[in-house]
Amino acid sequence: MMTTTLMDVTESDPLCHEEAMQLQAVELDQTIALLRTFHGDDWSSQTECPDWDVRRMYLHVLGACDAATSIRENVHQMRAAKRHQKTNGGPLEAGLSAVQVSERLAVTPAELVETLARTAPITVKKRTKLPSLLRRVRMKIDGPVVETWALGYLVDTIYLRDLWMHRVDATRSTGRELVLSAEHDGRIVEDVVAEWSRRHGQPFELTLTGPAGGSFTSAGSAAATQPNSESVAMLEFDAVEFCRILAGRAEGSSLLTTIVPF
């Protein structure tokens, strides 16, 4: 009889800068390989992001990479995003994404793939070299959560999760296979589980199935104040579906209403 080894996520190390950059390099390679399989109607397939088909979603990704490679472009996008927010309302993140897409609408799918392939290694290189002093700069976030982040958290963790979740979106939209591995995708999922645990603070045992899955547990935190915090929630999901729920792509209940930013 096989026994399942539970990982205590309170002992899971957060992504360090070096590891995050390695994961981003692999994720960008995976993304470009996926995009090279698209043709024709694949690019106009609607994604689970309401305003985006596949092409527009990756124009956003390209815009984010462009911002990483150039301080001037980064400043331009942020100023344009603030103007967009002032005019249209909503979170600054939504305004930034809208600017990234609207300014690249003339880019064809073929140009998008080749430009992203050229830009990707520069993006990782520039993000890797971001000085530690700048990575500690605090910034206010107004969506999907309202809180303050270190710039390093945005650069290391959020950009990685965003890129990974968009690969999930794209494969679901086009019917392509989602390539997953324990080493790469499993590490991203583990980091999501650990942050989810910290955010809700309740005890649980969680089984995530599939190549990116694993078995996780936490006794909860002393600061947890929700009713019945002493009872252990027993949960089982597909690993990708678990992340889709936390990212707002699918409905969740109980502990799965806890938002984890992607």
CATH of 15-174, one of 1.20.210.10, 1.10.3720.10, 3.30.465.10, 1.20.120.450: 1.20.120.450
Tell me 130's DSSP state: -
**The predicted structure's pLDDT at residue 143:** 87
* 63-120 pLDDT tens trace: 999 999 999 999 999 999 999 999 999 999 999 999 999 999 999 999 999 999 999 9
Question: pLDDT tens digits, residue range 20-32?
Answer: 999 999 999 999 9
pLDDT band at 198 (very low <50, low <70, confident <90, very high): very high
For residue 4, what pLDDT is reported?
Answer: 65
Q: What is the pLDDT of residue 224?
A: 52
Token readout for 66 is 């462009």
Give the whole-number percent of the chain exceeding pLDDT 90. Answer: 91
Residue 166: name the closest of 34, 19, 16 by CA: 34
- Does pLDDT of 199 surpass 80? yes
Q: Give the per-residue pLDDT at 225.
A: 46
Q: For the chain, which residues make up each domain, given as ranges?
A: 15-174, 182-257
**CA-based angle 66:261:106, to the nearest 5?**
30
Task: Kindly report, residue by residue over 220-256, the tens digit of the pLDDT.
Answer: 985 554 555 458 999 999 999 999 999 999 999 999 9
Mean pLDDT of 27-55: 97
The answer to whether the CB of 112 falls within 8 A of the CB of 34 is no
Span 3-9, average pLDDT: 81
Percent of the chain's residues with pLDDT above 70? 95
Contacts within 8 Å (CB) and 24+ apart, 136-143:
141/92, 141/93, 141/261, 142/91, 142/92, 142/93, 143/90, 143/91, 143/92, 143/93, 143/94
pLDDT of residue 222: 55
Rounded to whole angstroms, the Cα distance separating 73 from 92 reads 17
